[in-house]
A and B are shown apart, each in its own frame.
Chain A
Amino acid sequence: MGAAMTPYLVHLNAMTGGLFLLAAFAIVATRQMSACLRWFVAQSLLLTASAAVIGIGLGSGHLAAVAVITFLTKVVVTPWLLRRTVRRELYSRREISQVFNIPTSLLIAAALTLLAYGVLYPVTALGVGAFAAINLPVGLAGLFLGAYTVAVRREALAQLIGLLGMENGAFLAAVSIAHDLPLIAELAAAFDVLVTALVIGLLTRRIYDRVGGTSVGLLDALRER
């Protein structure tokens, strides 16, 4: 790839990184379940775009394969699985309870993002390349925000999406530093995500059928109080 294209690719990758971070924030703050799932799909699409852009920028066919795998597993199959396994009633629910109200949540999430940037500053200051300088902090921030989503959301499905968001963040950081991971490892990781989504989706469905709700906050005792 010609040197003239490189600044465009760097900025394009940076833009996907910025939008990826916004999608992570949206997953933290969206009230509606189906909108939350759509944001996850958008985030996965941005991850695909980032992998493709870095693949073009470094001329690595390997990353192109990673982009295809990510697209198939996270943009196509995982949402389809979640829509199939989890009951429709969960998606039509408008309000999902959170431990904090949404502005507070957003502020904590912003602090976590700045923490991710601060933690990785010594690393990026060493000169890790233009792609990794964006993807490493954004990926770590995505990881933090996913973990935060798991911690504050009280609905099982939203927690699952937080978990998948964590995975997305780790992947975004990984594509920028490990260009030559064996393809079998990528395939295994992708398959892992599918199995996680399927298992948690089926489990959520069973819990919903037995208990009539999946609010994890109410499931802390074995017997009804």
Chain B
Amino acid sequence: MEERILYNLLQVVVVVGLSPLVGGVLDRLKEIVQSKRGPSVFQPYRDIWKLLHKDEIVSEESTWLFRATPYVAFVAPIFVTLLIPVLTRYPLFFAFMGDMLGGGFVLALGGFFVALAAVDGANPYGTMGASRTRMVGFLAEPVFIIVFFTVSFVAGSTIPYIVQSVWINPLSNFFAPSHVLTMLAFLMLILAEDARIPVDNPSGHFELAMIDKSKALEYSGRGAALMKWAGSMKLFVLAIIFLNVLVTPWGLAESTAPGEVLLAIPLVLFKVLLFLLVLVVVESSLAKLRLFRITEFLGAAFITSVVALATSASGI
């Protein structure tokens, strides 16, 4: 029992500690594709360190929401980390505290606070970004729900640890259409949820076109550091849910031996690297969509998930 609590905390340490690295590697890979040198993969750590040592300026007009939001946004992915399989195939201490829907709610709570704080700062760009994020959010919601239905229909459960072993048990399940199409729909969902191309340009600096980043424009110092860190943790957590729960549990520790759990860390990072390569290909080969075309992109994701549900309902 003790080791299960310990491994659960180790998961949190891995997610908190390595998520800036994942962001840095993603940026570096994109720079390489664009034939640029680009900063080191450790640049996000330096940015966060620098911001943590700077003075924070908070508008006098803002309320407690603005001050509390960086902490809420920072803590939400940590709570989700406690629920999902990051390193192990067997359930850990907190695994049955909440299912996939619970994790989705906790992540959405962080997003909700960030949107409120963006409005609270009274920066017009922040308000615009918040309303656009809500627009993308409510279009992404049905996709999430249908993916959730499909998964619970196929696996008979919504606890991530049970879902993950269904896809390879027997191995022919890996090729089931419900699995392949659910992966596809969830990948599109990640692109929308994490504000990646084609929904939003994460490296854009033009405020009028921003969706996601404009919400954190008002933050400085420690608040900005936490918001930046929370953003990279959210991407890391979504990638982990995608890779370990929806794709395969390969590379995760089978037993409670400490060596095997530690070995799972590089294996999971390797899987994340493969995911980042897919993300780089998507981001480098597509253009950002016009705002009102986003409905079509998420409509396509919705259809994909509905087809996944329909094919799984026919018993295959």
Contact = CB atoms under 8 A, between A and B. Distances in A.
Interface of A: 7-8, 10-12, 14-15, 17-19, 21-22, 25-26, 29, 102-103, 106-107, 109-110, 113-114, 117, 124, 130, 133-134, 137-138
B168 to A, nearest CB: 12
B278 to A, nearest CB: 18
A18 B308 contact: yes
B136 to A, nearest CB: 14
A14 B274 CA distance: 26
Contacts of A110: 302-303, 306
A10 B300 CA distance: 26
Contact of B306 (A11, A102, A113, A124): A113
Given A18-B307, A21-B310, A117-B313, 8 more contacts: A10-B316, A11-B176, A21-B311, A103-B296, A106-B296, A110-B306, A133-B315, A137-B310
A15 B296 contact: no
Secondary structure at the A interface, as helix, strand, loop or mixed, is helix
Contacts of B181: 18, 22
Contact of B314 (A15, A29, A107, A124): A124
27 contacts: A11-B172, A11-B173, A11-B176, A11-B316, A14-B176, A14-B177, A15-B175, A15-B177, A17-B177, A18-B181, A19-B180, A21-B307, A22-B303, A25-B307, A26-B300, A29-B299, A29-B300, A102-B296, A103-B299, A109-B303, A110-B303, A113-B306, A114-B306, A114-B310, A133-B316, A134-B177, A138-B311
Secondary structure at the B interface, as helix, strand, loop or mixed, is helix
Which 9 A-B residue pairs are closest in the complex by CB-CB distance?
Answer: A18-B177, A7-B172, A11-B175, A14-B316, A14-B177, A103-B299, A15-B177, A8-B172, A106-B299
Interface of B: 170, 172-178, 180-181, 295-296, 299-300, 302-304, 306-308, 310-311, 313-316
A130 B173 CA distance: 14
Contacts, number: 83
A124 B177 CA distance: 18
Contacts of B304: 22
A102 B298 CA distance: 11
Contacts of A14: 175-177, 311, 316
A26 B176 CA distance: 21
Given A22-B181, A22-B307, A114-B310, A102 B299 contact: yes
Contacts of B173: 11
Nearest to B171: A8
B172 A18 contact: no
A221 B315 CA distance: 50
A25 B307 CA distance: 10
B214 to A, nearest CB: 25
A134 B314 contact: yes
A119 to B, nearest CB: 13
B300 A106 contact: yes
A15 B184 CA distance: 12
